[in-house]
Structure 1
Amino acid sequence: MRSEMLTSILSDLNGTSADIEASAVISTDGLMIAALLPSGMDEDRVGAMSAAMLSLGERTAKELARGELEQVLVKGDQGYILMTHANEESVLTVVAKPNARLGLIFLDVKRAAEAIGPIL
């Protein structure tokens, strides 16, 4: 039931923009809770990397007096990875194309994270 609700939210998120290629909900210790990833993208690796990046982002925001971490954005020449908290114990990770309109994606990701938080 819970996993179906999460998968439905991820499906809606991926459907809001052709620029979103993948999304996943991951526990802060790196375990995959729900995912819509393309074949060839390793769930375990996505989970571990997302948890590590978010943890490092939190420490960096705190150490450099930037307040509470809202999101981590990684930009590569092949696109973006955006990570944000869904709640205290989970991370929403989104993979987007290089020409993605980030403003819209930030909004959609925030909405999805707010929907995921209460389910977990």
Structure 2
Amino acid sequence: MDDFSEHSSHPKASQVRSILRGLIASSGGAVDAAATMTTDGLIIGSALKDNMDQDLFAAMNASLLVLAEKASGEVDIGNLKQVMVMGDKGLMLLTHVGHDAVLALATDPKANLGKILLDTNKTVSRLRELLA
């Protein structure tokens, strides 16, 4: 994982990074970036490739989350649990970790969606326990 940068001043940042590195490793390289952040976009812990700006990654995902929450409320589908954005070069996935935290990840286009969702659910459980 030497090509991933890891910066945060959160007291549990190193433990969060360890969990995120586990997610990346279990994906077999399909996950390109993973971050846990507050719902307003402050990084708790991340494992992003060196060429990625963690503040920009967090801000984009926080904006996406706000918009998705408004949309889910407008169409009355209940509390937002997960947001998925699929592009021809990969997938972005946001999953609520708790009331105030979100797991955001980006994958390559060949990622196995079922495995990514399964690994994400396991990771969210570990993060919830840690951040509770």
> Does the 8 Å CA contact 1:26/1:50 hold for their aligned counterparts?
no
In the alignment, does 2:44 pair up with 1:45? no
Q: The residue matched to 1:12 in structure 2 has which SS?
A: helix
Per-residue deviation, 1:78: 1.0
Q: Partners of 2:49 and 2:15 in 1: how far apart?
A: 20
Per-residue CA distance 1:28-86 (angstroms, 9 max, x = gap): 11111101000111101011111111121111111111112121111111101100111
1:48-59 → structure 2 map (5 Å cutoff): 48-59=59-70
In the alignment, does 2:110 pair up with 1:99? yes
Q: The residue matched to 1:87 in structure 2 has which SS?
A: coil
Structure 1 unaligned regions, length at least 5: none
**1:27 paired residue number:** 38
Structure 1 ranges of 4+ moved more than 2 A: none
Residue correspondences, number: 120
In the alignment, does 2:1 pair up with 1:16? no
Normalised by the length of structure 1, the TM-score is 0.94
Q: The residue matched to 2:97 in structure 1 has which SS?
A: strand
Per-residue deviation, 1:14: 0.5
Structure 2 unaligned regions, length at least 5: 1-10
